[in-house]
Amino acid sequence: MHCAPGLAPQTAAALAERDDVVFSCTVTGTADVVAEHGVTVERLRAEGGTAGAPEPHPPFADGFPTPSGKLEFRSASAAAEGHDPLPGSHRPQAPEEDGRYPLVLLSTASHFRLNSVFGNKPELRRRAGGPEVSLHPADAAACGISEGDAVVISSPRGSFGAVARLDGRATRGTALTEKGHWPRLSPGGEGVNATVAEDDADFGGGAVFHDNRVRVEPAGTAVT
């Protein structure tokens, strides 16, 4: 096992090495971590990923990042920025509120990949299966959809294809699918991101994956 002189573990040449070589080079290449916490390859193998972590390590031991230093159920900072100071939720005020898109689509994580990483691996694709969407039986019936039907999920922004599942996972008014399928490996060449708005969340500024209203139709009748 060796690390090429001057070869950063993240370079393409290093990543062509065996996994154990990349692992060793990555650890030994972070001298500050090794020196400060005594982390070595051998210790990681023996103790796992928490080797070198300070004990105990309670989160927020020095307080929360709020003006009071406490967990604030009523946030004066949020109110000052024009937000509701209390936790809550609201329906997005968007054109799809007119009833043409009656379902909220939730894009959950897969057990077989990290987001879209490794989404092209044949074995992981085999284990994960193709794109599916879970519907409540009542919602499926209203849409003329049965178990195993090919369907199209659409929003004002775009659409993607999937297979319908009436497996008891979805509550009334919601549809569930998994993120991470590569569009070019999916029916129609599109994935769930085609339906998501390119907006920022009003409070945290993050993506709005779950403020995503859609309709689901049998593939042969869908109009996008």
Domains for the chain: give ranges and CATH numbers: 7-61 (no CATH), 99-218 (2.40.40.20)
Q: What H or E segment, with its residue span, contains residue 132?
A: strand 132-135
Q: What count of Cα atoms within 13 Å lies in the side-chain half-sphere of residue 74?
A: 0
Please answer whether residues 139 and 173 qualify as being in contact, where contact means their C-beta atoms are separated by less than 8 angstroms. yes
Please answer whether residues 108 and 170 qualify as being in contact, where contact means their C-beta atoms are separated by less than 8 angstroms. no
Alpha-carbon torsion (183, 184, 186, 187), positive or negative: positive
For range 132-141, the mean pLDDT? 97
Task: Tell me: pLDDT of 28 over 80.
Answer: no
CA–CA dist 127, 209 (Å, integer):
25
pLDDT confidence of residue 167: 93
Task: Tell me: pLDDT of 140 over 90.
Answer: yes
CA–CA dist 28, 178 (Å, integer):
37
143-152, 201-210, 212-221: range with lowest mean pLDDT? 201-210
Pairing assessment for the beta strands 103-108 and 150-154 based on DSSP bridges: unpaired
CA–CA dist 101, 108 (Å, integer):
19
pLDDT > 90 in the chain, percent: 36
Q: What is the DSSP letter of 68?
A: T
Task: Tell me: pLDDT of 223 over 60.
Answer: no
Peptide bond into 56 cis (omega under 30): yes
CA–CA dist 118, 130 (Å, integer):
14
- Kindly report the number of other CB atoms within 10 A of residue 162's CB atom: 26
For residue 118, give both structure tokens.
Answer: 């490794």
pLDDT confidence of residue 82: 85
More confident residue, 223 or 48: 48
* Three-state secondary-structure class, residue 215: strand
The overall average pLDDT reported for the chain is 82
pLDDT in tens, 91-105: 655 655 668 899 999
**Which of 162, 101, 133, 190 has its CA nearest to residue 92?**
101
